Amino acid sequence: MVPEPVRVLRKQQELETTWTLELEPGGAGGRPFLPGQFNMLYIFGVGEVPISLSGDAGLTETLIHTVRAVGPVSNKLAALKPMDTVGLRGPFGIGWPMTAGEGADLLIVAGGLGLAPLRPAIYHVLRHRERYGRVILLYGTRSPDDILYAGQLEEWSKRPDVEVHITVDHAGGDWPGKIGVVPSLVPALDFDPEDTVAMVCGPEIMMRFTVNALRDAGVEDESIYLSMERNMKCALGHCGHCQFGSTFVCKDGPVLSFNRLRGLLSLKEF
């Protein structure tokens, strides 16, 4: 429960209000993690927030988190400089179904900053490419200026073994790509829904529309995985802040099969 002070090694601005922090891992044996897990980052005297790990789990020298400055804690995190200190607890939670997805085609659907928690899964797939079938990445965001990891998306799109489709909600006349919401990319895909595992992360409304599109296309509920964002506080399943029905998002998730979420997603009580 006690945050360990770790140093910021590097910092890079990604978007207008979004930065990527590289932290020293701390801990005696480094801090190994699984794609989809998160850490609790603590600004001393301000507060603590859950931030997904967004780096390569195969590289243990640093921990990478992409942070959007939206509140008091994340604004302070975004203002950190190299050699500043931040409190760290983690990693926590259940990550993406990297083993269950082996042998299947993968359909990775990310919206906005939701690409950050999915990036470790993409790194893992590319590192073990032979274990997976087709890999399709759908990415949607607000506008061309809001495309996260744009350079990396371009690199991945050049690979012959990854299919990358990017769309934005709206754009000016200089954008040559697709315009429309990310769920609308699903019906146009030529894929085998019965042999596909879908991993989805983004704003919850985007995920709900995406799940509908996936189910309409024939993807089974148990093959759809969502990374849920809830108000995680203790990250240990004790405090109940992130309780979602009978599920504690911090402990049982944040990645959950749609089987467990069906009927809960649209309830405003949660």
Partner 1 sequence: MKNIAQIVCEHPFFHGLDGEFCDLVCGCARNVRFNPGEYLFHEGGDADYLYLVRYGQVALEIAVPGKPSVRFQTLHDGDLVGVSWILPPYHWAYDARAITLTRAIAMDAHCLRKKCDDDPVLGYDVMKRLLPILTSRLHATQMQILDVYGTPEQPE
Provide the minimum distance between the beta carbon of 230 and partner 1 in the complex, in angstroms, as a whole number: 7
- Residue 172 in the binding site for partner 1 (CB under 8 A): yes
Of 151 and 172, CB closest to partner 1: 172
202 to 66, 163, 197: CA distances (angstroms) = 14, 19, 17
Of 94 and 206, CB closest to partner 1: 206
What is the footprint of partner 1 within residues 236-265 (CB under 8 A)?
Answer: none
The C-alpha torsion from 45 through 50 and 51 to 57, rounded to 10°, is 120
- Per the structure block, which two tokens stand in for 151? 């350079």
Task: Quote the CA–CA distance of 78 and 12 in Å, as a whole number.
Answer: 10
SS3 129: helix
- Residue 181 in the binding site for partner 1 (CB under 8 A): yes
The vertex-133 CA angle with 225 and 129, nearest 5°, equals 95
The strand pairing partners of 87, in sequence order, are: 5, 42
- Residue 204 in the binding site for partner 1 (CB under 8 A): yes
Q: Which stretch binds partner 1 (CB under 8 A): 24-32, 59-67, 78-86, 200-208?
A: 200-208
- Residue 266 in the binding site for partner 1 (CB under 8 A): no
Task: Quote the CA–CA distance of 201 and 33 in Å, as a whole number.
Answer: 18
Query: Which of 20, 39, 52, 141 is close enough to bind partner 1 by CB under 8 A?
Result: 141
What is the footprint of partner 1 within residues 42-101 (CB under 8 A)?
Answer: 47, 49, 68, 70-74
Provide the minimum distance between the beta carbon of 231 and partner 1 in the complex, in angstroms, as a whole number: 6
Q: What residues contact residue 263 under an 8 Å CB cut-off, 6+ apart?
A: none
For residue 251, the surrounding DSSP H or E stretch is: helix 249-252
Q: Which stretch binds partner 1 (CB under 8 A): 28-36, 130-138, 164-172, 218-226?
A: 164-172
Site residues for partner 1 per CB under 8 A: 47, 49, 68, 70-74, 111-113, 141-142, 146, 169-173, 175-181, 183-184, 187-188, 202-206, 209, 229-231
